[in-house]
Amino acid sequence: MQMADLLNRKKAGLALTASEIEYFVAGFTAGSIPDYQASALLMAICLRGMTDEEAAILTDCMARSGDMLDLSAVDGVTADKHSTGGVGDKTTLIVAPLCAAAGLKIAKMSGRGLGHTGGTVDKLESIPGFRVTLSNEAFFEQVNRVGVSVIGQTGNLAPADKKIYALRDATQTVDSIALIAASIMSKKLAAGARNLVLDVKCGSGAFMQTQEDAQHLARLMVEIGKRCGRRVTAVITDMDTPLGTHIGNALEVTEALEILQNRGDKDLRVLCLALSAQLLKSGLGLSDDKAMQKAEQILKSGAAYKKFLEMVEAQGGDAELLRRNPDFLHAKCSRTVPAPRDGYIVHMQTRVVGESAQLLGAGRAKKDDAIDYAAGLVLHKKTGNLCRAGEPLVTLYAADAARLDEGEARFLSALEFGDVPPQKKPLILGKVE
Ligand code: URA
């Protein structure tokens, strides 16, 4: 087999065979297929697309390019969630303990963030003492005993994805829906859980800007999951305004603790319940209504809150500190920014709000940048809210005044004011089951 044949077939818009896809993934991962040929194939895929079957085969080959986590040491029904990423997304901190309190086993490997704030692992590391590195034995033991563990990615999970993603990044081929779906799902297949809920975000703070693209991506990932023997459902959700009110690592843990104690932002609560109910439905075989009732009952009873603290304690974190003081980490400097005028917030460029958090110190611009766990912002007003000039709009947290200045200017540039309220968009835009 030769790369030239694959390139010609894809250039002509034909489907690649399973053995051709295997040849490409194995050869490129091993280094025998050079970057220039791989780049040409990725561009041809970008322009010509892939069938569902090709995308599923590509995903499976990428998953098998490294370690496949064997969760057979976990007793019970394994479940995982994935979000395509957005601003203020702390849902894992709520959904994982909630589903564990309902009896599912959540053995979750999560990433660090590059961009506006850290990833789930960075958020958890903001808790004093919390360990995100566990041996496989300790990880499985905790999942069996507590029901949930969230750790950083270990081992050699989907190395083909790492190599292909780096090339896509350099060749403007990131935005192929087939390649995005294969990239995300290869890591999820390798991570081993049988049940998976995907939160596919769409809007100005998301990877997918339109609902149509989000729907395509969700449908394809669910289809790939099915073809690869996993139960996958997807929820398509709005990311045209940040999720919840807190953006930043420790700040997001604080907000998650509020929801876990049955208080806090209504939209964030609704989304966490919807994602949890999807997992309870597929993992426990419940109807939609029963799954939602169970999720609500667990949240209201405080069982999810207790489970979160149990997980924190099991991973060495100071659960007692969180119990005593949910607002557990304070930045050196803060500033409350007043609304510049009377009017409704008609739009927040959510990605720009995220950039403001990064300038405050909450995120990384480069892989090795340090994060300031206490940095970030708390929104007092969001899209649709009426503001009076001078009313508190947002409180910014950072290590120094220069960062506050930068964060403030970027934050204000994200806002659009108007005299009439914008049309309210639903938070949950669709589901794919
Ligand atoms: N996230 C991923 O993991 N891969 C992509 O290609 C895009 C987003």
Tokens, residue 333: 């400097």
Residue 367 has pLDDT above 90, yes or no: no
The pLDDT assigned to 365 comes to: 78
| Mean pLDDT of the region 361-388 | 93
Residue 111 has pLDDT above 80, yes or no: no
CA dist., res. 391 & res. 215, Å (int): 38
User: Lowest-confidence range among 201-210, 265-274, 309-318?
Assistant: 201-210
| Mean pLDDT of the region 401-405 | 98
Ligand 1 atom 5, closest CA: 180
Q: Ligand 1 pocket test: pick from 174, 189, 239 the residue with the most ligand atoms within 8 Å of its Cβ.
A: 174
pLDDT tens digits, residue range 320-341?
999 999 999 999 999 999 999 9
How many angstroms is it from 422 CA to the middle of ligand 1? 31
Domain borders along the chain are 3-49, 71-157+194-323, 333-418
362 — pLDDT class (breaks 50, 70, 90)? very high
The dotted CATH code for 3-49 is 1.20.970.10
The dotted CATH code for 71-157+194-323 is 3.40.1030.10
pLDDT tens digits, residue range 69-105?
999 999 999 999 999 989 999 999 999 999 999 999 9
Q: Which residues are the active-site residues? A: 82, 161, 168, 183, 187
CA dist., res. 109 & res. 128, Å (int): 20
Ligand 1 atom 1, closest CA: 184
For residue 370, how many other CB atoms are within 10 A of its CB? 7
The pLDDT assigned to 323 comes to: 97
Q: Ligand 1 pocket test: pick from 168, 169, 184 the residue with the most ligand atoms within 8 Å of its Cβ.
A: 184
The pLDDT assigned to 250 comes to: 98
Percent of the chain residues topping a pLDDT of 70? 99
Tokens, residue 49: 């697309």
Q: Ligand 1 pocket test: pick from 62, 176, 183 the residue with the most ligand atoms within 8 Å of its Cβ.
A: 183
How many angstroms is it from 184 CA to the middle of ligand 1? 5
Ligand 1 pocket residues where CB is under 6 Å: 165, 174, 180, 183-184, 207
**Of 49, 90, 271, whose CA–CA distance to 180 is shortest?**
49
CA distances for 152 relative to 36, 135, 314, 360, angstroms: 32, 11, 15, 24
Contacts of residue 123, defined as CB under 8 A and 6 or more positions apart, other chains included, come to 90, 93, 117, 249, 250, 252, 253
The pLDDT assigned to 155 comes to: 77
| Mean pLDDT of the region 353-363 | 96
How many angstroms is it from 65 CA to the middle of ligand 1? 17
CA dist., res. 182 & res. 174, Å (int): 11
Contacts of residue 291, defined as CB under 8 A and 6 or more positions apart, other chains included, come to 277, 278, 280, 281, 284
**Of 296, 241, 250, whose CA–CA distance to 273 is shortest?**
296
The dotted CATH code for 333-418 is 3.90.1170.30
pLDDT tens digits, residue range 144-188?
999 999 999 877 899 999 999 999 989 999 889 999 999 999 999
Q: What is the CA radius of gyration of the chain?
A: 22
Residue carrying the six token digits 């040409």: 40
Residue 406 has pLDDT above 80, yes or no: yes
Could you give the angle at the alpha carbon of 321 between the alpha carbons of 315 and 324, nearest 5°?
140
CB 108 within 8 A of CB 151: yes
Residue 132 has pLDDT above 70, yes or no: yes
Global pTM reads 0.95
Residue 17 has pLDDT above 90, yes or no: yes
Residue 114 has pLDDT above 70, yes or no: no
196 — pLDDT class (breaks 50, 70, 90)? very high
